[in-house]
Amino acid sequence: MNDINALYNEWLEKAAIDPDLKEELESIKGNDEEILDRFYRSLEFGTAGLRGVIGAGTNRMNYYTVCRATQGLSDFLNKHFENPSIAIGYDSRIKSDYFSIEAAKVLAANGIKVYLYKELQPTPCLSFAIRHFKTSSGIILTASHNPAKYNGYKCYNSNGYQMTDEEAEETYGYIKQVDYFTGIKTMDFDEAVSKGLIEYMGDEVIDAFLDEVMKQCVNPDIVKDAGLKVIYTPLNGTGNKPVRKILDRIGVKEVYVVPEQEMPDGNFPTCPFPNPEIKQAFECALKMAEEIKPDLLLATDPDCDRVGIAVKDGNGGYKLMSGNEVGAMMLNYLLSQKKEKGTLSESSIAVKSFVSTDLAEVIAKKYNCTFKNLLTGFKYIGELITQLEAQGKADDFVMGFEESYGYLAGTHARDKDAVVGSMLICEMAAFYKAQGKSLAEVMDSIYDEFGYYFNTVSSYTFEGASGMEKMAGIMDGLRADTPKAFGGMEITVIDDYKTSVSTNTADGSTSKIDLPKSNVLAYTLTDGNKIIVRPSGTEPKIKAYITAIGKDKAAAQAIADKLIADADELMK
């Protein structure tokens, strides 16, 4: 604790640039627990960049942690590129605009050309800008769907997807060499602009992005005559302008925006958890729906890379659809329509994260579409698209998705994109509405054809310094004392992505998992049921991904309940 108090005192003395930090540090003087939480570690830089609570200290998002990371990134870029450049975007979160400006000043001081969005924009727009300007890297200031107290700093490489493990590790090595108070170069913003080191991107970049999104329509004329009625909430984030523009382009004329959640606001006053995966994010939209009675409710998260929906349930109300359901339904729509129109490539390929529903793989098989399962993290999908593009096969890519409400059709971005996702969901809804079907009915017909796949995620939070140790202990314990069954079902295959070994429990035979190493354990049970245990890469959580397959929802739910109960026991 003596070292931590010394660090605290150094910050109290030197952290003068942001007056909020000084005030916060003064307020915790003498409180060992509060000091420990802010200084027991430095925010780690990984493939997802930095993420943490906004505030003072090495374990917080603030001017010094952001600029230290940017200085390290600058050193990395100057080593690997002769004339490096970078694109920067930011969302509606507290201090996102401020951090973006300060990061730009550090990069400019290191001789790196910066292209800066002049207002908040979705994460996929940042991915697009990297490739549009052919920059060496990209940064977006966002904490995605986390509560208001968080912010984050995500780094991208020249391909437009998040840094690989190797790139992040090398960058982190440079970051650790930077002193918080003496090692950061910076320069005056106006001077950097006048010297051409910082340049604001024009509206034409967003227009070019939307043009590429439009190319993903498979039935471009279906919407304008469908009379589709949509309630949309950007959850006080970045989706408001681009999503409304793209819906207008495809002909959705009746778009009702939730007024309390329309404008950017990093406090998220009506939605403390601005995550379209949870029902609370739809509360205001559902209240509006009582009067408007729309066909569809859309919600995009603050950085507009995820989109969730609620659809008519047939009983006068609305039901939320899961990311797995939307991903499977969207894939079924794209494949069926491309095949009908003769535009489905014979070497077509679709992809998902390995924790997402296996229903998608079954659907792809019906259309003779190659299917790949990749590690969680959209960068792996971005890598695959880049490989296809290098082979001249970019048009083979149909779509990729993650169960956490992230979808991408097209190759305009190398990250999940709620703008193209929102567009295709509305197009799909219009297509089926013309046939007299709701999206809920369409999903039911898919289950009738392929079986009911019940997918759910249980999250277990472990806060603070002791939480990290607890999470590591749980994963180590599972490897040291291998379970024999879950939910009363025998384990048939154990996939350990950390050792890259897949083990058949019947005969003990093993095979190699041809994916990057990751601290994940996957257990396949009888009849294709699954449980996957994975520590989050961005939050202090372990997640258990459950797959339960039954002839109907009740049968699958009963299996899932047993698996969840066993997962709960593991996390105690």
| Active site (catalytic) residues | 144
**Helix, strand, coil percentages in the chain from 3-state DSSP, rounded to 5:** 40, 20, 35
**How many whole angstroms separate alpha carbon 370 and alpha carbon 138?**
31
**How many whole angstroms separate alpha carbon 276 and alpha carbon 381?**
21
**How many whole angstroms separate alpha carbon 21 and alpha carbon 19?**
5
Contact 70, 280 (CB under 8 A): no
178-203 burial, b at 16+ Cβ within 10 Å, e below that, comes to: bebeeebbbbebeebbeeebbeebee
408 beta partners: 400
- Amino acid type, 203: D
**How many whole angstroms separate alpha carbon 86 and alpha carbon 157?**
9
Q: DSSP code of 487?
A: T
CB neighbour class for 164 (10 Å; exposed up to 12, middle 13-18, buried from 19): middle
Q: DSSP code of 412?
A: S
Local structure of 387: helix, strand or coil? helix
- Axis crossing angle, helix 323-341 with helix 359-366, rounded to the nearest 10: 10
CA distances 19 to 6, 7, 56, 118, 232, Å, are: 20, 18, 10, 25, 37
Which pairs from 192-199 meet CB under 8 Å and 24+ separation?
192/104, 192/105, 192/108, 192/109, 192/114, 195/108, 196/113, 197/107, 197/108, 197/111, 197/112, 197/113, 197/114, 198/104, 198/105, 198/108, 198/114, 198/116, 199/113, 199/114, 199/115, 199/116
Q: Supply 500's token pair.
A: 């890259």
300 beta partners: 307
Tell me which residue has tokens 């469908």.
226
Tell me which residue has tokens 């910050």.
11
- Detail the DSSP E strand segments found in 235-341: 254-257, 296-300, 307-312, 318-321
**Residue 408, CB-side half-sphere exposure with 13 Å CA sphere:** 31
CA distances 53 to 36, 146, 174, 247, 507, Å, are: 14, 10, 23, 34, 48
Contact 144, 111 (CB under 8 A): no
**How many whole angstroms separate alpha carbon 244 and alpha carbon 419?**
9
Tell me which residue has tokens 């959640």.
261
The 3 state secondary structure assigned to 157-204 is ECCCCECCHHHHHHHHHHHHCCCCCCCCCCCCHHHHHHCCCEEECCHH
The residues, any chain, with a CB within 8 Å of residue 434's CB and separated by 6 or more, are: 222, 225, 226
CB neighbour class for 135 (10 Å; exposed up to 12, middle 13-18, buried from 19): buried
